[in-house]
Amino acid sequence: MTTLTFKNVYVKSENVIVGKLEKEGPLGSYFDDYSSDPYFNQSSFEQAEIEMNRLCVEKCLKKGKIDQVDLIYAGDLINQLCTHYLASELKAPFVGLYGACSNSALTIGHAAIAVEHLEKKHVLAFTSSHTQAAERQFRYPNEYGGQKKECSTSTVTASGAILLSNEFSDLKVSSFTIGSVVDWQFSDVNDMGKAMAPAAYQTIMTHFEDLNRTFDDYDLIVTGDLGKIGYAMLSEMIEKSRFQLENKLNDCGIMIYDLNHQNVYCGGSGCGCSMAVLVGKLLRDLRSKKMKRILLVATGSLHNVFLTQQKLSIPSVAHAICIERS
């Protein structure tokens, strides 16, 4: 059994900040803050991501009415992580995690473990991605003007933070399914959604088996950033397993952009994608009682840019977090 359940892990506060393109998308009104300046008034895109995290975390802690946390879990897409820099300012024990785009569920899951089993009172989880920083690391700088394939996705510029606590609130984290790495020998780095779909399927099925649940037990199951092609592949795999989706499956990479009017190819990707949708929209829907229980299945492509250049395949992973009304 790879699903951990929790009895006393609550969401104390949360915050999200996004870029201009994300603000102009269909979920724009749900986000707390945005910046039309991709540099966030800094001198590089990497420093912009650090500043974006700083603004996001500061407001999250302010909403939670605390100045100090007991522990931090965070991660991003930049080599060796840029979250270290902000963590050094927060003066709290820090664990840097790398699960690629699955970092949203990965950081929240570990934060929940710390609250429940390490008896920490306030644990912060945050993650981010920045389109210019990620694109020039994994593909080509946007300024290069290289033509993308239609199966590609666009990295979301966003930072999201969640403060978990053992203090009762209206929302609780009730379980965390730790995914296994799935490598089905797929090697097209332009089609991350298809690479990650089998990992998402395996984690969903594992979660169902561990907790004896089906789609009927959720208002919504949302994957991290499969995009249009990966989502279609996952839907087909689930339907072949004789589950009825009944509009209970969606994807953050599809939800965050208007695929018909924004030039994002198959949708959004990046650590900030699923975290922004979770913090910006889904938690609000839970609080407003539009939904009672959701499952976030954050997907991550674990490819190494040098190894894929050596024609190796793309291992992927998915981690799942269940959040529900208390």
The domain locations on the chain are: 3-165, 171-325
Domain 3-165 has CATH 3.40.1280.10: no
The pLDDT score that the predictor gives to residue 144 is 43
The pLDDT score that the predictor gives to residue 313 is 86
Please give the class, per CATH, of domain 171-325. alpha beta
- Residues 171-192: tens digit of each pLDDT: 999 999 999 999 988 777 777 7
The residue written with tokens 């803050």 in the block is 33
Cα–Cα dist 103/141, whole Å: 23
DSSP letter, residue 148 = P
Name the more confident of 305 and 44: 44
Least confident of 59-73, 206-220, 235-249: 235-249
- Residues 110-123: tens digit of each pLDDT: 999 999 999 999 99
The pLDDT score that the predictor gives to residue 142 is 54
Cα–Cα dist 32/20, whole Å: 13
Average pLDDT over residues 204-226: 96
> Exposed (0-12), middle (13-18) or buried (19+): which is 43, by Cβ within 10 Å?
exposed
Cα–Cα dist 196/255, whole Å: 17
The pLDDT score that the predictor gives to residue 134 is 76
150 pLDDT band, cuts 50/70/90, is low
The pLDDT score that the predictor gives to residue 244 is 81
How far from each other are the two terminal CA atoms of the chain, in whole angstroms?
24
- Residues 36-55: tens digit of each pLDDT: 999 999 999 999 999 999 99
Rounded to two decimals, what is the model's pTM?
0.94
